[in-house]
Amino acid sequence: MRALRILVGRCDEKTYRSLSGCSIIIAATDPVSIRCDAAALRLQALEGVPILALSPEARVLAERLVTQGPLPDKATVDALHISVSVVNGMDYLLTWNCTHIANAAMRHRIEEVCRSLGYEPPVICTPEELMGE
């Protein structure tokens, strides 16, 4: 199993709604950009975990996740979180985002879009679901 170094937090509105590049994912963990001690702690915990690139393929998949319906327009960052995981062949996508990512009602549609582009989606779940009891 490979680890994924992506934490999606809140960005400013312009960045949040764009597919302009990897900075929208990395910026969420950058303590300078959001001025938060918690972000510094998250970065420290992820030391040594590889950073996955936002490839053109991941951008296409992210756009499809929004335009083909499972994710709303306001969930562009969530679409990128999913697409980078998918395109890089991750086994699991762990998230506490149950609104748009670890959402049982949306999961099937997310998987359909991924498979329509030839990708096998990861298991999408919360850390708690992965660990079990």
pLDDT at residue 8, as a whole number: 38
Closest CA to 81 of 17, 2, 3, 4: 4
| pLDDT tens by residue, 63-95 | 999 999 789 999 998 999 999 989 988 888 888
Mean pLDDT of 90-119: 92
Of residues 31 and 83, the one with the higher pLDDT is 83
Closest CA relative to residue 97, chosen from 80, 111, 113? 80
Mean pLDDT along residues 52-73: 91
Residue 93 in contact with residue 81, Cβ under 8 Å?
Answer: yes
Q: What is the DSSP string of 67-110?
A: HTSSS-GGGHHHHHHHHHHHHTT-SEEE-S-TTTTS-HHHHHHH
pLDDT (0 to 100) of residue 32:
45
Q: Which residue do the tokens 């936002």 mark?
A: 54
Quote the domain boundaries for residue 120. 13-131
- The answer to whether residue 121 sits within a structural domain is yes
Percent of the chain whose pLDDT exceeds 90:
40
Q: How many domains does the structure of the chain reveal?
A: 1
